[in-house]
Chain A
Amino acid sequence: MIAAESDPQSPATEPKSREVVVAVRGLTKVFKDFWGRAKARAVDNVDFEVRRGEVFGLLGPNGSGKSTTIKMLLGLLYPTKGHIEVFNHSPRHVATKSRIGYLPEESYLYRYLNSYETLDFFGNLFRLPGGERKQRAEQLLEMVGLNQTRTRAVGEFSKGMQRRIGLAQALVNDPDLVILDEPTSGLDPLGCREVKDLIRALAQRGKTVILSSHLLTDVEDVCDRVVIYYGGRIQAMGTLKELLAKPDVVRITTPVLARETMERVLELIRKDVDGQKVKIDNPTQNLESYFLDVVERAREAAKETSGALSGHRVAAYLRGETPAPVNSENLLERLTAPQTPAAPAPAPKPVETVDSKKLAALAQPTTPAAPAVPPASPGPNDAQAGADLEKANEKLSSLLGKPK
């Protein structure tokens, strides 16, 4: 797993620094045909700023202008109107690009290079010395779980593996600004979580991350601030707290209460609030947390997979540490060691209004739901559980992708 050294934190709700890394003012992009006639207005008069240490999300449906904005930030498209500054320079300023890492929406890597050659090539473009290039490539390959497929051509990789090597090349220069265009596209849930953990780890180190996605959960999980695009225009912008908070509603979460206690509480509440407006239920964890829990248990039972391995520690240089030489024994130990379970993200989800039957059920002591996959190391007599585990392993193998 990609895991930050410290515990992942919830996204901050306020900008972490006042230093402006990216400034966009009045940005407009009109695509024209061969004869110079306007064909499409992809971005229309957009303004925003991204500050140091922020995880900034660009949200919007397909074709809303997110990728066009990103490509203008990178100097790959030129604005029709407006102004962009990245680290106080034009996006086409060559030296500034040494501070930027970019993961495009699709794999635009050289198909005939293998994963090690890919990282070595991009390391050369950043003028990294030979030793450092090699060390970073080793660490990144380990981090994204492609250490064992380093000599295979990138063109032979599955989409998920291509995303992983794409992510690795985006980080080879230890960038101050990381621009990720649909970073979780094509990744399995495990990979998605790893990428999100990595984004948090980068933000903790003061890196700025611009994330473009149409997957709302990705953005919600990691972003400090977002802009929402539609039709090339910004429809909403602000911190997630500002955008998502419902100030006229309150939620209280407690352990299971006795029926009498709960009735007393409800009675108290009904004195002030219409009963129809009060909702009560069991909090549920989201599907991602549940899936990761299942995978964790399956991994303990069968430690090998034919596809990309799940990533490991964030590369030492990305954590801001002096890199230690790669020790094969330690590496093996890390590869085979049980991973720390992913932090669950329980989000109580009010779904129903109160009725007395439900209240009675809720007041019963809770029995955990039977997991889809039984716990690791099933007892010799538990044949059914073993079969279930086998099925789960097969499913996971196919989800994680097999090397071609």
Chain B
Amino acid sequence: MQQIAAIIGLTWKAAFRYRLFWVIVTLLLGAVVGLPLLIKHDGTAEGFAQILITYTLGSVTALLGLCTLWLACGTLARDIEECQLQMVLVKPVARWQVWLGKWLGLVTLNAALLAVAGASIYCVIEWRARGLAPDQLFTLRNQVLAARDSAKPENVDQAIETETRRRLQELISQQKLGGSKPEAVADSIRDELKNEVQLVGPDGFHPWLIHVGASRGQLKGQPLYLRVKFNTSAANASGTFYADWLVRNPETGDAWPHEQMSLAPDTVHEFAVPADYVDDKGDILIYFHNPNKASMLFPLADGMEVLYRVGGFAPNLARGLGIILCWMALLAALGLAAASFLSFPVAAFCSLAILTMGLSSGTLSNVVSEGTVMGTNPETGAKTSQTVDNVMVPVFRAILHVINVVQQFSPVDSLSTGRNVSWKELGLATAEIVLLLGGILGIFGIFVFHRRELAAVAVTH
């Protein structure tokens, strides 16, 4: 451990004495303090959160990510190229200890920088929030600067699938397919069933029973927040649609009607309702009445959600930064793994290329969903190059799977919308991003580093 600690200390010293580090620190401070001063928000809590949390944390993540990759490649590759590592490895230090020491050095350095950035963001938010109007400040404190868990209606995907199969079988047994392919008929049935669940016709009602669950004890005296989003089948002149809401305690039947609202489609709306309407089992009933002439569709994924406060902003920010640290740990492992067998410029180039590929997951996603890299012939509908697709699509699918492991965590979005970044989420991020993906890169990096003839660099130069 003493040896690893010495290498961690050396990595810190190396970072401090590189100019790049100080450039990054200056940019970080610029992002955290300067950016909110330069960009004016629109005076709303949401606009305030967008600039002070999304932009600043996004900038911090991007800057630290690039800095981490660069330092990770440099700290190992340059030590090898400049032969300093020869002096280290003729001492009783195993190569895995050197690799691990450098990785831990970068991770602890990132942790320190994130702590400074987080503290600065927190202070800037508190300072700038004083300029908001009282109602917006109230919204900010309750809906953004908070850690809120969410509850959604029960997932009905399985039920829809079961019902789809049942109806399909029924049609098949009655020989009513009419020459159509069974899968096409199934898709049609599935869409129909989804519409039944999502769609609220003119003057129609829609109930949602939401289980808030174990958190009921924490809700006494606190408001709940309904977060809704809908689409419409037709547009109207005003661009908004009326909505009537009623919240009911399923046990006692007590009801709380909300005054009619005018809401824009395809937009997330959030409003408070009293928590007293959650019953002893932790359930709450929400009714919606569509007073418009157009149908309204509440998507299953994010059409209806109930949010409730479970903690404060500061610990939530700390956990969010913890997930960002997991990303940095993965980037450090990526840079070190590349530098274990490549020269500094090549390692930096490859690492940045992989990072760019990770950020452009949309393209990969399209390829996987379309099942082709080279595209299809518009006339025949056949794939242009079946061979390439046979190789590349599975590769892209595997890469996308890895990227999804990392991208499933979105602390910046969660923090800017006041959602709780739970300890479980942080633990999962640590396990999947750091231990699993970082571990794979670490094992690969240490393996190739162990096999490398370090003095061959100097000799061949």
The answer to whether A and B assemble together is: yes
For the complex, count residues of B whose C-beta is within 8 A of A.
27
Of A77, A95, A124, which contacts B6 at CB under 8 A?
A124
Closest to A95 in B: B92
Smallest beta-carbon distance A141→chain B, Å: 18
Closest to B457 in A: A76
Closest to B79 in A: A110
Once the chains bind, are B88 and A125 in contact (CB under 8 Å)? yes
Interface centre among A110, A112, A117 (most CB of B within 10 A): A110
Residues of A with C-beta under 8 A to B456:
31, 77
Residues of B with C-beta under 8 A to A290:
none
Interface residues in B414-458 by Cβ distance below 8 A to A read 453-456
Known A124-B5, A124-B6, A127-B2; judge A31-B459 contact (CB<8 A). yes
Smallest beta-carbon distance A142→chain B, Å: 22
Residues of A with C-beta under 8 A to B91:
97-98, 122, 125-126, 173
Once the chains bind, are A78 and B3 in contact (CB under 8 Å)? no
Report Cα–Cα, A108/B83, bound state, in Å.
6
Smallest beta-carbon distance A179→chain B, Å: 8
Once the chains bind, are A124 and B3 in contact (CB under 8 Å)? yes
Question: In this assembly, does A68 line the interface, its C-beta being within 8 Å of a C-beta of chain B?
Answer: yes
Closest to B5 in A: A124
Smallest beta-carbon distance B34→chain A, Å: 29
Once the chains bind, are B13 and A98 in contact (CB under 8 Å)? no
Question: In this assembly, does A374 line the interface, its C-beta being within 8 Å of a C-beta of chain B?
Answer: no
Smallest beta-carbon distance B408→chain A, Å: 40
Among A99-107, A203-211, A380-388, which stretch is in contact with chain B?
A99-107
Report Cα–Cα, A104/B85, bound state, in Å.
12
Once the chains bind, are B86 and A121 in contact (CB under 8 Å)? no
Report Cα–Cα, A77/B454, bound state, in Å.
7
Interface string of A42-69 (1 = CB under 8 A from B): 1000000000000000000000000010
Interface string of A71-87 (1 = CB under 8 A from B): 10011111000000000
Smallest beta-carbon distance A79→chain B, Å: 10
Once the chains bind, are A125 and B453 in contact (CB under 8 Å)? no
Once the chains bind, are A94 and B459 in contact (CB under 8 Å)? no
Smallest beta-carbon distance B397→chain A, Å: 32
Known A77-B459, A94-B92; judge A121-B10 contact (CB<8 A). yes
Residues of A with C-beta under 8 A to B17:
112
Residues of B with C-beta under 8 A to A76:
86, 89-90, 453-455
Residues of A with C-beta under 8 A to B360:
none
Of B5, B14, B453, B459, which contacts A42 at CB under 8 A?
B459
Once the chains bind, are B87 and A104 in contact (CB under 8 Å)? yes
Interface residues in A14-51 by Cβ distance below 8 A to B read 31, 42
Report Cα–Cα, A108/B79, bound state, in Å.
9
Number of A-B contacts (CB under 8 A): 80
Question: In this assembly, does B460 line the interface, its C-beta being within 8 Å of a C-beta of chain A?
Answer: yes
Smallest beta-carbon distance B85→chain A, Å: 8
Interface centre among A76, A97, A124 (most CB of B within 10 A): A76
Smallest beta-carbon distance A105→chain B, Å: 9
Question: In this assembly, does B82 line the interface, its C-beta being within 8 Å of a C-beta of chain A?
Answer: yes
Question: In this assembly, does B94 line the interface, its C-beta being within 8 Å of a C-beta of chain A?
Answer: yes
Closest to A120 in B: B6
Once the chains bind, are A94 and B3 in contact (CB under 8 Å)? no
Question: In this assembly, does B390 line the interface, its C-beta being within 8 Å of a C-beta of chain A?
Answer: no
Question: In this assembly, does A113 line the interface, its C-beta being within 8 Å of a C-beta of chain B?
Answer: yes
Question: In this assembly, does B84 line the interface, its C-beta being within 8 Å of a C-beta of chain A?
Answer: yes
Interface residues in A155-198 by Cβ distance below 8 A to B read 169, 173
Question: In this assembly, does A109 line the interface, its C-beta being within 8 Å of a C-beta of chain B?
Answer: yes
Smallest beta-carbon distance A43→chain B, Å: 11
Smallest beta-carbon distance B95→chain A, Å: 9
Residues of A with C-beta under 8 A to B235:
none
Interface string of B226-244 (1 = CB under 8 A from A): 0000000000000000000
Interface size class of A (residues with CB under 8 A): 20 to 34
Report Cα–Cα, A122/B9, bound state, in Å.
12
Interface centre among B89, B91, B460 (most CB of A within 10 A): B91
Residues of B with C-beta under 8 A to A95:
92
Once the chains bind, are A169 and B2 in contact (CB under 8 Å)? no
Report Cα–Cα, A106/B86, bound state, in Å.
11
Once the chains bind, are A94 and B94 in contact (CB under 8 Å)? yes
Report Cα–Cα, A42/B3, bound state, in Å.
33
Smallest beta-carbon distance B314→chain A, Å: 36
Residues of B with C-beta under 8 A to A106:
83
Once the chains bind, are B14 and A100 in contact (CB under 8 Å)? no
Report Cα–Cα, A76/B84, bound state, in Å.
12
Interface residues in B215-258 by Cβ distance below 8 A to A read none
Known A31-B460, A98-B92, A126-B91; judge A104-B6 contact (CB<8 A). no
Known A77-B459, A127-B3; judge A108-B92 contact (CB<8 A). no
Once the chains bind, are B89 and A75 in contact (CB under 8 Å)? yes
Smallest beta-carbon distance B88→chain A, Å: 7
Question: In this assembly, does B346 line the interface, its C-beta being within 8 Å of a C-beta of chain A?
Answer: no
Known A31-B460, A76-B453, A77-B453; judge A110-B14 contact (CB<8 A). yes
Residues of A with C-beta under 8 A to B9:
121
Once the chains bind, are A109 and B459 in contact (CB under 8 Å)? no
Once the chains bind, are B93 and A75 in contact (CB under 8 Å)? no
Interface string of B1-24 (1 = CB under 8 A from A): 011011001100110010000000
Known A76-B454, A110-B10; judge A125-B83 contact (CB<8 A). no
Once the chains bind, are B460 and A112 in contact (CB under 8 Å)? no
Closest to B454 in A: A76
Residues of A with C-beta under 8 A to B87:
102, 104, 108-109, 122, 169
Residues of B with C-beta under 8 A to A68:
459
Residues of B with C-beta under 8 A to A71:
86, 455, 459
Smallest beta-carbon distance B381→chain A, Å: 45
Residues of B with C-beta under 8 A to A102:
87, 90
Interface residues in A194-226 by Cβ distance below 8 A to B read none
Closest to B6 in A: A124
Report Cα–Cα, A95/B91, bound state, in Å.
9
Smallest beta-carbon distance B181→chain A, Å: 54
Report Cα–Cα, A113/B88, bound state, in Å.
14
Once the chains bind, are A97 and B90 in contact (CB under 8 Å)? yes
Interface centre among B2, B84, B94 (most CB of A within 10 A): B2
Smallest beta-carbon distance B53→chain A, Å: 36
Once the chains bind, are A125 and B6 in contact (CB under 8 Å)? yes
Interface centre among B2, B89, B90 (most CB of A within 10 A): B90
Residues of B with C-beta under 8 A to A96:
92
Of B14, B86, B92, B455, which contacts A125 at CB under 8 A?
B92
Once the chains bind, are B84 and A109 in contact (CB under 8 Å)? yes
Smallest beta-carbon distance B216→chain A, Å: 55
Interface residues in A110-132 by Cβ distance below 8 A to B read 110, 112-113, 117, 121-122, 124-127
Known A31-B460, A125-B6; judge A110-B84 contact (CB<8 A). yes
Smallest beta-carbon distance B274→chain A, Å: 62
Of B13, B83, B455, which contacts A77 at CB under 8 A?
B455
Residues of B with C-beta under 8 A to A97:
90-93
Residues of B with C-beta under 8 A to A110:
10, 13-14, 84
Smallest beta-carbon distance A134→chain B, Å: 14
Closest to B2 in A: A127
Smallest beta-carbon distance B289→chain A, Å: 70
* Closest CB pairs A-B (n = 4): A124-B6, A76-B455, A112-B17, A125-B91
29 contacts between A and B (CB under 8 A): A31-B459, A71-B86, A76-B86, A76-B89, A76-B453, A77-B455, A77-B456, A94-B93, A95-B92, A97-B90, A97-B91, A97-B93, A98-B91, A102-B90, A106-B83, A108-B86, A110-B10, A110-B13, A110-B84, A112-B17, A121-B9, A124-B3, A124-B5, A125-B3, A125-B88, A126-B92, A127-B2, A127-B92, A173-B91
**Known contacts A31-B459, A71-B455, A106-B83; can you find 4 more A-B pairs with CB under 8 A?**
A31-B460, A95-B92, A113-B10, A124-B2
